[in-house]
Structure formats: C-alpha cells, structure tokens
Amino acid sequence: MDQEKLLYFKGLLEGQLHALIQEAEKTVNGMVQERNGDFPDPTDRASLESDRNFLLRIKDRERKLITKVEEALDRIENGTYGTCESCGKPISEKRLMVRPVTTECIECKTEEEQKERSEKLRGTKPKSTFPS
C-alpha cells in the first residue's frame, strides 16, 4: 500500500479512536451521575439497573473496538497494515474502507466464517485459527 493511502487510513483510524475515547468517557460520566441519584422505588431501581447493564455492554464493545483501532495503528507503524494475517495477501481497499481494523482479506474471513458455521451445525465448538 502506498504512503498516501496509509496516511489516509491512519487519519481515519485516529479520528475513530478519538471519537471512541470521547464516547467512552461520556458513558462513564453518565454512569457515575446515575449512581449518585436516589431511587427508593424498586421499579425505578430495576429500570436503572437494566439501563446500567446495557451501558456496560456498550462500554465493553467500545473498549474492544478501541483495542482493535490501536492494533491497526500499530500495524500501520510497523508496515503490516493492509496485509492479511492469514494468507499474507493484500486486503482490498474496499474492505479496509468498510472495516479499517480488519486483519483478514475477504476470502480468508469468509472461509473462517464458513468453518465456524459448519462446526456450529455439527454441534462442535468452533476452533478459531484466525484472529478477528
């Protein structure tokens, strides 16, 4: 991948990382403010707990995506960004535009998903040999 495209993806990923970190901070601040509220009514407490659990799931997804974005930025720095970790071939720019944190080309990812589906249908636990 040429330097201009790498710079484009680096900027895209850095922007995504910045937005994710800001959103994660808002989520944490919102949870702290909610915790300070007084909810003596059991229905209100149950609703608050449900909302809090939902926010925690969102926060966990944000944390995982932040890690993937940081790993993609590391791959840009070490010169491996845009190369499939499974087969070593270049990942298409279209795929990188849709999912800039991807580590696999579409062919390897499709093959991995097909293996997982067939193992699931057979009732065996999927053994992922590919990183996501």
Q: What is the DSSP string of 55-121?
A: HHHHHHHHHHHHHHHHHHHHHHHHT-TTB-TTT-PBPPHHHHHH-TT--S-HHHHHHHHHHHHHHHH
Q: Write phi, then psi, for 25 (nearest 5 degrees).
A: -65, -40
Fold of 1-81: Four Helix Bundle (Hemerythrin (Met), subunit A) (1.20.120)
Burial of 71-106, coded b for 16+ CB within 10 Å and e otherwise, reads ebbebbeeeebbbbebeeeebeeebbeeebbbbbbe
* Single-letter residue type at 122: R
Q: State percent of the chain over pLDDT 70.
A: 83
Q: Which of these CATH numbers, 3.90.1170.50, 1.20.120.910, 3.40.50.620, 2.60.120.260, describes 82-132? A: 1.20.120.910
How much is the pLDDT for 131?
56
| Contacts of 110 by beta carbon, 8 Å cutoff, 6+ apart | none
Question: What CA–CA distances, in Å, run from 122 to 32, 40, 109, 117, 125?
Answer: 45, 50, 20, 9, 9
CA–CA gap between residue 11 and residue 5 (Å, rounded): 10
Instruction: List where CATH 1.20.120.910 sits in the chain.
Output: 1-81, 82-132
Give 66-91 pLDDT, tens digit per residue.
999 999 999 999 999 999 999 999 99
Contact 55, 33 (CB under 8 A): no
- The H or E element spanning position 24 is helix 3-35
Give 29-63 pLDDT, tens digit per residue.
666 555 555 566 777 778 888 888 888 888 889 99
How much is the pLDDT for 125?
60
